[in-house]
Amino acid sequence: MIDLRILRDDPEAVRASQRARGEDEGLVDQLLSADERRRGSVSRADALRAEQKQFGRQVGKAKGEERDALLAKGKELAAEVKAAEAEQAEAEQAVATLHRAIPNLVNTAVPAGGEQDYAVLKHVGEPRKFDFEPADHLDLMTKLGAVDMERGAKVSGSRFYFLTGVGAQLQLALLNLAVQQAVANGFQVMITPALVRPEIMGGTGFLGAHASEVYKLADDDLYLVGTSEVPLAGFHADEILDLSTGPRRYAGWSSCFRREAGSYGKDTRGIIRVHQFDKVEMFSYCKPAEADAEHERLLGWEEQMLAKIDVPYRVIDTAAGDLGTSASRKFDCEAWFPSQNAYRELTSTSNCTTFQARRLGVRYRDEDGKPQTAATLNGTLATTRWIVAIMENHQQPDGSVVVPEALRPGLGGIEVLEPK
RNA sequence: GGAGGCGUGGCAGAGCGGCCGAAUGCAUCCGCCUUGAAAGCGGAAGACGGGAGACCGUCCGGGGGUUCAAAUCCCUCCGCCUCCGCCA
């Protein structure tokens, strides 16, 4: 949720953010007036409660007839309090509904527009010039015995797969390398729950516009996470953290589950877009004033990891309309996919400022010892999809794939994956 | 799955219808004492909302109810613990 103080002090900033996202600007004024009404109802109820409290003490001391008379009056008072509290509850509900409907404030540096309006911040490496027709990752992996899509479909349906043999080994090597890097950079490694409660899923902002993306276990009132960002954000819910020595950083390893509703026909080949994959995710809790700098650091660590698989990529600053509900700014690193002649997302790092933390009750103490809402950020360190980039960029004419040097130790020293 | 017990401030732990936002201990912070420290003594100190402030309201796992009045009684949900059964 956005900071209501900002809304009251500078509603135009919130309107501008809504415009940038292509969201309803009218919600801003609705929320403002609902908040006004809420404040009125609270002070009326407070005054009545104070009166009732005073009154209750008189009754406690009174005796006999005097007491009976007071009891009669007490009933009237109780009815008034009840009515005022009902009004307050209703006003608060109205504010909460509108408040939740407004996504995070967009950072003013973010380019306007939708999915196509990203700004390219830089390119790293040159797409390789092939002197043969490059195969796509599915052909390569099938020949290597690294994946089994047919049986994935047989067992679980479309967009499911088995990583087999060297495919499974490669993923473990990759994710382990990510964990090692994270540890070296001072992150605490976490293996997180993949099922979370509704409050946690909602608190991270995934039950808003993108709720249809999330798997739900209705019988148990639990959600399958699409990223370990969710349990990591919930980890410190309703806590006051000590952030005086700098950000708290976690690296979460989990399977991730996505319904991919509305992406029919998109990326149907191979393991680019699947219902279940594995990921190592970085997550930071910090003071809001440090969030922009932390965002740059997370991007830096993503690039450090990308360098280890040695593929060409570019970094983009996602446009306002393409930001998630919780993000104020998002940088994606997109690797070159030769088979598609296109850059595709491998990492994504979002600065959620105080949006998630406010919903989840994550705070820290400022210099004066007062609790303040923290900021949260997240960023990808490695995923199953990275295998696609490795396969396609390091393939050779005979269908073999050169293993990037950094991954060789994790694969028992293998330098080249050979077709079977 | 069955039976029972328990959820109170940073922690431990009283309170079980009416000056209880809550005793006490530990931990914390500030004084005094000390060359310095410990001990000892004195004091401060929860969170949230409102108000310029005095101060007011809310919060005793969550929600609902009974009552003039609920940390205290009732219902319900969640969590933790113990025993039995079942499965890994």
Long-range CB contacts (within 8 A, 24+) of A219-223: A220/A195, A221/A197, A222/A195, A222/A196, A222/A197, A222/A198, A223/A195, A223/A196, A223/A197, A223/A198
Instruction: Find the residue closest to B17 using CA and C1' atoms.
Output: A60
pLDDT of residue A419: 93
Q: A286 CA, B31 C1': separation in Å? A: 35
Percentage of the residues of chain A whose pLDDT score is greater than 90: 70
**Each residue's pLDDT tens digit, A139-161:** 999 999 999 999 999 999 999 99
Q: What is the mean pLDDT of residues A365-394?
A: 92
CA atoms of A259 and A367, how far apart (whole Å): 44
Q: A266 CA, B60 C1': separation in Å? A: 54
Coil, strand or helix: which one is A120?
strand
For the residues of A143-186, what is the DSSP string, one character each? HHT-EEHHHHHHHH-TT--EE-THHHHHHHHHHHHHHHHHHHTT
**Each residue's pLDDT tens digit, A43-62:** 999 999 988 888 887 777 77
Residues of A marked active site are found at 258, 273, 345, 348, 385
Q: What is the mean pLDDT of residues A245-261?
A: 92
Higher pLDDT, A299 or A73: A299
- Is A346 exposed, middle or buried (CB count within 10 Å of its CB: 0-12, 13-18, 19+)? buried
pLDDT band at A203 (very low <50, low <70, confident <90, very high): confident
- pTM reported for the whole predicted model: 0.92
The continuous run of DSSP H or E covering A45 comes out as helix A26-61
Q: From the alpha carbon of A89, which nucleotide's C1' atom is closest?
A: B58
Q: From the alpha carbon of A370, which nucleotide's C1' atom is closest?
A: B47
**Each residue's pLDDT tens digit, A315-332:** 999 999 999 999 999 999
Q: What is the mean pLDDT of residues A392-413?
A: 96
Q: Is the ipTM of this complex over 0.90?
A: no
Q: Which domains can be identified in chain A, with CATH numbers?
A: 4-101 (1.10.287.40), 119-417 (3.30.930.10)
